[in-house]
Amino acid sequence: MTTKNLCLASVFTAIVCLVTRFIQIPIPLGYFNIGNCIILLFCYIMPCPYGLFIGGVGSAIADLLSMPVWTFPTLIIKILMPLAFYGLIKLFDKFSLKYIFAAIISMLIPFAGYTFVGAIIAGSLYAGFTQIPGLALEYAANVVLFAVLWFAAKKAGLRRIYESDRSQQAK
């Protein structure tokens, strides 16, 4: 745990909060946002403990500021999504598009989680299911945007910045 990593994680957490809070489109029981792709992009750059914090805390603060009833469920859901992402990356280790496939699968967690929690909060399974069209659109947009951002980050060498910093610490 370095000062640089703590600073990066703090900035990335704030970015997730801002993107989630201010770039949103209302859907039944909540809102559509592009926070998931931003979380997974930062998970690509940073190691697991930081990614879990960035996703969980950044998103939970955004919900605390806009729809407080969702704060705790969001914290859990947005910690589980990066956890699955990191696990799937290891599972697909030899596969060249492992980050894309990990994103496609791990983003199903918020899709299912918010449908389930929405049904509980609304007290109706039907009400939870009314979110499905909006969540499906959000899922698709986040997957596509993650693929574009991941490709750009890969070309820019953003992951190498973290890895080179880590190798210098080992010396």
The yes-or-no verdict on residue 58 having pLDDT over 90 is: yes
How does the average pLDDT of the chain come out, rounded? Answer: 90
pLDDT tens track for 26-51 = 877 677 899 999 999 999 999 999 99
pLDDT score at 160: 60
Do 45 and 153 form a contact (C-beta atoms < 8 A)? yes
134 pLDDT band (50/70/90 cuts)? confident
168 pLDDT band (50/70/90 cuts)? low
Query: In a 10 Å sphere around its CB, with 0-12 CB exposed, 13-18 middle and 19+ buried, how is residue 29 labelled?
Result: buried
pLDDT score at 95: 83
Closest among 9, 10, 55, 8 to 33, alpha carbons compared: 55
Do 98 and 88 form a contact (C-beta atoms < 8 A)? yes
Instruction: List Cβ neighbours of 68 (8 Å cut-off, separation of 6 or more).
Output: none
pLDDT score at 29: 67
pLDDT tens track for 62-95 = 999 999 999 999 999 999 999 999 999 999 888 8
The yes-or-no verdict on residue 99 having pLDDT over 90 is: yes
The yes-or-no verdict on residue 55 having pLDDT over 70 is: yes
Question: pTM here?
Answer: 0.88
Do 35 and 146 form a contact (C-beta atoms < 8 A)? no
